[in-house]
Every structure is written in structure tokens, then in C-alpha cells.
Structure 1
């Protein structure tokens, strides 16, 4: 308890309202994607899709998300309308989720999934740079609240959609699950003001010429590029698990929809407990040691999956994995903001998420092909290897310590 109290001693919860509201919005973006992941096995069965085709749909999402990086950071840094961008991304993604429910086949799924991918990556440069500017001294904690919202979205959506699937078709379930996202968008518009994003050491906007110069400097920064490389390998692990754990549970362990939802919620529950601690701890101790511990634990947990065959043991290991896997996200985001110039914060986030998406792009399809030929267990070996690579890269990165302690 003394350790936890010490990590949060620099945090003022009364002033953290915008962080919690933006975190709720982040949860809505993840709610949309998690809902799609849960209906994917039933969608695939109904439409007669193979594992490779199901994986290709997820790869399409990541391809669209990657393409959004070409302009999302520039929109945020030049226009400076971060709250508006967040709200629009939620509205469009909710409409796309509804469209999935009306899709008649594989081709009809393409546009909705592309839109979800585009808006998912449009959210992050606006939200992360907003919080980084609003909470410069407690950046790790504020961004942990942002990721905490994502964890709640990832946790609650599987339970909600899994429950809906017990008495609704997968089509109706996708439509109903989109409705709360519109409400969250409205709350953001009317409750969070653009003026709360006041920067600490540079202008809120960049003009065209200074922006181009800033991009060149950003891409020449070896520390940021190495950090993006590490984040890319870690993202391969995370997104691969989100695709193939549901497929493993349904196809191998033969679980019910409710059990599937509870298992995926368990993956997120660990992050709820560990995320704020890891973020606040990294504010005081530095980003590198916290990230290194989390990634090493993730590697060990994923490696153990290949040897677990009983459902209770599998779900227990899922919870432990979530504790390590998701707690490192705010540390990586804070690390990026520490290294980037304020005027390029949105673009730095775009570069980070672009790297993550680029690395993740082929994982669902390649993993699906591996599962079709050698089984789902073999995919878990591959994901353990990508986590190990991320851990090794982290060891070589420069540390940044936000708060000096005596």
C-alpha cells in the first residue's frame, strides 16, 4: 500500500476530469472494435469464411488504420481541433458498426471495416496530444486513464455483445452495440473544451512550413524511431491475441458465447488494475524500467498459453496476461510524448500508431494461414516471439524520468 500511495502522490484527481472524459471516449473506440472481434467467429460461420478470410478482414482494418496516419497527425497539429476530431471519429465508427450488421457477404464488410480502421487511428493523435498538453507533469497518469478507458471498452464490450448473442443474431447484436457510442460522442462535445489543451512550451498549432520541418526532425530522431519499432512488435502480440484467443476458445475449447465474453473481459481486467499504477510509476521511476518489466511478463505469459488446454487454467492465464500486456500502453504513449516536441505531438502519435499498424497488418492473415495448416497453438508460439523481440528492444532504449525523487 505504501508503494501505491507513493506512486500517486503527485496526482490531483480533482483536476483530472478531462482525462476521465477523454478516457471514456477512448473506451468507446475500443468498444466498437471489441464488438467486432466477438461477433467475428459467428459472422465467419454464417458467411462461410475460412480462418484466413476472417484474419484478412482484421488485416483490412489495420491497413485502413495505417493509411489514416498519412493525414491524421497533420490535421491535429495544424488545425488544433482535437476534441472535434475525437467526436467525429466516434460517430463515424458507430455508423460503420451498424453497417456491418446489414452486410450481406464478405464484400459488403469491406467499407465498414475500412471506416472503423480509419476512425480508430484518427482518434489517437487528437486524444493523446490533448492529454499530453493538458497534463504535462502527470502525463503518465493521464495517459493511463486514457488507456484505462480503452481497457473498460475492451472488457465491457465482450460481455455485452456476448450476452446479446444469446438472444439476438450477430447482425442485430452489432446494431444494438453501436448505440452507446453516439452518446459518448455527445458527452465529449458538450463537456470537454478545446481550451483545456493549452500547450506548455510551444504553440497549439503549426503552420505548413514549420510542420514539414518538424516532420523531418521527428523522422531523424533515432530514439523515437526505435521506440516505434518496439511498439510495433508489442502491437503484433496484442492484436494477434485479440484475434486468435476468441477463435481458440470457440474452435478448440468449445465455449459458449457468454464464456467467450467473460474470458475476453478477463484479459482486460488485469489492465484495469495495472494501467494507472504503471503510468504513475513511470512518471516517477522513468519509462524504461516499467516497460521492461511489463513486456518481459507478457512474453512469459504468452509462451505459457501453448501448454494450457483446460478452460479454467486458460482463463486464469488470460487475466495474468492482461495485467502485463495492457499496463505498458500508457508508458509507451508517455514515452513518445516525452521525446517529441509539443508542436509535433499529434504527428508523433501518428508515427507511433502507424508503426504499430504496419507491423500488425499481416499478423491476422499470416496467423490465419498458420492456424489453417498447423493449428491455433502454433500461432501462440509466433506471438510469444514478437513479444520477446519487443522486450529486447526496450532494453536498448534511452530512459526518460519525468519526476525526480530524492
Structure 2
């Protein structure tokens, strides 16, 4: 009997370890996105302080995306090749977010704010390949669900963060608030490193050059991967345009103060807390396309409706409904790509997908800024709607092969 109990306990330990890892990385994702989403709430104040044009505002977002894109491929390689050091990578990502806001608070020029956004983009680039590749391999049997739950952490940060930041801005200036956020970031970075370092140190150290390049070759020989990335790029262009100009639309056209700006911004992400687990489960059971195609078509329709209300409940309802799909669809698209990628290059594949999207979407905020300067805020939402319907059209032609049954968990790698 003691032998049986010992066997059962040993069998449960990997499951408990996986759950702890998922919970820890989900919490870390919350922190990363809290810091990422402070910027849109700060943006109207930064614009007012520096007297920025619409095109310059778009340039700020492009700088953030560009930095994230340039660093994401090296970060993906590091996630695959230096598995034992992922704890350092994850902790560094959290620390970078706090340091970025310190720079923002002491930067009185456009160049200084650009530096802050480059650092903020770097924090995102460091975090995602290591966390996503870890969960993709550890939960290969329920990849869509695991990545969706990881995405819930992001949605919590994306929704609770702006609401809290908007409320605090009623009491203190944005520069003081930015400075205060450095110390928690450093503390949480240290806690993240301590929490996961033992897990990674017990796993394999990396992979051979031959297996790595074989996995890379597989990325370029699968048309499905590129079709998913093209569709995701359309979605990303629309999302980036909305992220850039929706806060300004709410502040300048609707006349909302910082609290109501934070409230509506939180709505855009809060609904994903509830929808993402369901989307992940459905995609694991019925396929990625079954979830993504109708989601993109629905988002296209909601973008069309967004500028129609004159504020009030109806605008909040449209933004909240859009929030059901705004973030979570990206996790399902990532799962679709990782389904057909080699287990040896999961981090690099996620990074390559991100880099592809970054390159395509990089001009989007500046293009959106030009559209706004010529035709007004409403037209940027119509432009985003066209992009979403284009993404849905691409997905209509995508065929995802039936996923092979994968074992759950692959050690530390």
C-alpha cells in the first residue's frame, strides 16, 4: 500500500508542477501587460506635454513595435537554445518594464519618449517567446487552452491596469506615477526568477544545431504558417491602429476624463478574461478555424459600429463586445502555428510569427495617423474594419491539418 501511494504521489507531482508553472507565468503575464497598458492612458498627457501631431503619435507606437520586432527573433532563439536561463529572461522582461517608465518620467523630449517605448517593446519581446514556448510544450495536449489561460493573465493586466491608472491620475501626475512603478517591477522580477529558476535548471540545457535548423526549415516549407501570419498581420494592423487612436478619440472627441478613459479602455480587455478560456477549449476540441473565422468577421462589424454612438451605454457595449475577441484571437492563431511547428523551435516559431507581424504592421499607426489627420477619427475604425474582413477572407482558405495527439509535458523544455 505505501508503494501504491508513493507511485500516485509521484504521478501527481508533474501535474502539480505544470499547474504551478501555468499559474506563475499567467501572473507574470498580468504584470507585463499592466506595464504595457499604462502607456495608452499616459498618451494624451504625453501628447499635450510635447505638443505632438497625429503622425508623431503614430511614430511613437511604431517605435515600440519596431523595438519589439527587432528583439523578438533573438529572444525566441534564446528561449529554444538556452532553456536553463529562461528564468533570467523572464525576470529581465519584468524589470525592463519598470525601468522604461523611469526613463519616461525624466524624458522631456520626443527622443526621450521614443527611448522609453523602445524599452517597453523590449520587455514584451523578452517575455513572450520564453513563456509561450514553455506552455506550448508542457501543455501540448491542450495547447489552445493553456495559451488562452496565459492570455487571461494579459487581459487582467490590460483591463484592471488602465482602470487603476486612470483613477490614480486623478490624484497624481503621470510622471510621478511612472516613477513609482519602477520599484514594484524590480521586486516582482526577482520573485519571478526565484519562482521558476528551479523548474528550468532541472530541465534540458538546449538543443543541437541540427535539430534547430531542421525545425527552422519546417517553418519555411509550410504554407499554412504563412497564411495564418498574413491573416494575423491584418488583425494586428487594425489592433495597433485602434490602440493608438481610440484613447485620443475617447479623450478628445468624447470628452472623457482619465477615469472614464481608463474605464472604457479596460472594457476592451476585461471581457477577454471570460471569453479566452472558452475560445481555447473550443479551439482544442473543434479546431482553430472554427473559432477564428467568425471572430474576425464579428470584429470587422464591431469596428464599423464603433464611431456611430455619441458616447454613453451603447459605446461601452460595443467596446465591451469587441473586447471578447480583441486579444484572445491572437493566442488561438499562435496555437494554430505551433500545432504544425517542430517542438524544437517553439520559441523561435512564436518569435518569427511575431516578427513577421511586426514588419507588416509597423507602418500601420503612422498610416492611421495620416488617415485621422485628413478625414477624422471615425475613418480609422472603418479602415480597421476592412482589415478584419480581409483577415476573415484569408482564414476561409486556410486548412489546418488534424493535430497529432501530443504527450503532456516535455520536461523542462
| CA deviation after TM superposition for structure 1 residue 260, in Å | 0.3
Separation of aligned partners in 2, 1:293 and 1:178: 41
| CA deviation after TM superposition for structure 1 residue 251, in Å | 0.8
Aligned partner of 1:72 in structure 2 is: 75
Q: Specify which of 142, 149, 166 is matched with residue 153 of structure 2.
A: 149
Q: How does 1:1-400 map to 2 (within 5 A)?
A: 15-80=18-83, 81-193=85-197, 195=199, 205-400=206-401
Question: Residues 401 and 303 (structure 1 numbering): CA distance in 2 closer, same or farther, change over 3 Å?
Answer: farther
Question: Residues 259 and 403 (structure 1 numbering): CA distance in 2 closer, same or farther, change over 3 Å?
Answer: farther
Question: Residues 24 and 159 (structure 1 numbering): CA distance in 2 closer, same or farther, change over 3 Å?
Answer: same
TM-score normalized with structure 1 length: 0.91
SS of the residue corresponding to residue 140 of structure 2 reads coil
Cα pair 2:269 2:326 within 8 Å, conserved: no
Separation of aligned partners in 1, 2:145 and 2:113: 37
The list of structure 1 runs, each at least 4 consecutive aligned residues, that deviate by more than 4 angstroms after superposition, is: 12-15, 196-199, 400-404
Separation of aligned partners in 2, 1:386 and 1:139: 27
Structure number with greater Rg is 2
Question: Residues 330 and 400 (structure 1 numbering): CA distance in 2 closer, same or farther, change over 3 Å?
Answer: farther
SS of the residue corresponding to residue 397 of structure 1 reads coil
User: Where in structure 1 are there 5+ consecutive unaligned residues?
Assistant: 1-11
TM-score normalized with structure 2 length: 0.89
SS of the residue corresponding to residue 328 of structure 1 reads helix
Separation of aligned partners in 2, 1:73 and 1:194: 21
237-246 or 207-216, which deviates more: 207-216
Separation of aligned partners in 1, 2:73 and 2:338: 19
Cα pair 1:144 1:275 within 8 Å, conserved: yes
Question: Residues 194 and 244 (structure 1 numbering): CA distance in 2 closer, same or farther, change over 3 Å?
Answer: farther
| CA deviation after TM superposition for structure 1 residue 373, in Å | 1.5
316-325 or 304-313, which deviates more: 304-313
Cα pair 2:166 2:259 within 8 Å, conserved: yes
| CA deviation after TM superposition for structure 1 residue 402, in Å | 5.1
User: Where in structure 2 are there 5+ consecutive unaligned residues?
Assistant: 1-14, 406-413
SS of the residue corresponding to residue 138 of structure 1 reads helix
Cα RMSD (Å) of the superposition?
Answer: 2.1
| CA deviation after TM superposition for structure 1 residue 196, in Å | 6.3
